[in-house]
Amino acid sequence: MPAADDIAKIIEQENALVFDAFDEEVAFGLGSRLRGKALAGNLPINIDIRLWDRPLFYAAMPGSRASNADWARRKINAVRHFLKPSYRLFLEQGGKDQVIAAHHGLPPSEYIFAGGAFPIRVRNAGVIGAVAISGLPSREDHNTVVAALADLLGVDGASLALGAE
């Protein structure tokens, strides 16, 4: 699928995956869904859900590495700065390099454009946080988060999923 089509689909995901409210209980439900998917699929991922002022959920699954936590943090920083999913940022940058382009003036040690972080958007409030996973290839990280969000929000995840590359 061409990058322009993927970007359009991700924008569709952003518009569809909006919460009416988001709090600690919702974060725990989302994190638990992601953890359940990871256990069922033997996915070696880290899960990090946070509001801009504090973390709400974290889990490191068997097979994940310490570097996954750092990648999730850097993905969340990118979402916070640009208010877009990290995979969209990767595709908008050309889809070849995950290191943030120098013209942004942001340190690569703090930001990364790689799939797996998605904004937590609340209706009439905007983006208040992010959910991130790390441990799979970028596109799979992204699709895993989108599937969990769609499931939690009761949205048809199959219609929102990015197809094969």
Q: Tell me the domains of the chain and their CATH numbers.
A: 3-155 (3.30.450.150)
Distance CA 108, CA 100 (A): 6
Give me the average pLDDT of each 10-residue run along the chain (165 residues): 89 98 98 97 98 97 96 97 96 80 80 95 97 97 97 94 84
**How many other C-beta atoms are found inside a 10 Å radius of the C-beta of residue 128?**
15
Residue 49: name the closest of 126, 123, 116, 108 by CA. 116
Mention every residue, 6+ apart, whose C-beta is less than 8 A from residue 68. Answer: 44, 45, 46, 60, 134, 135
Q: What is the pTM of this model?
A: 0.94
Q: What is the pLDDT of residue 7?
A: 95
Q: What is the pLDDT of residue 3?
A: 87
Q: What is the pLDDT of residue 105?
A: 80
> Are residues 68 and 59 in contact, defined by beta-carbon separation less than 8 angstroms?
no
Q: What is the pLDDT of residue 101?
A: 67
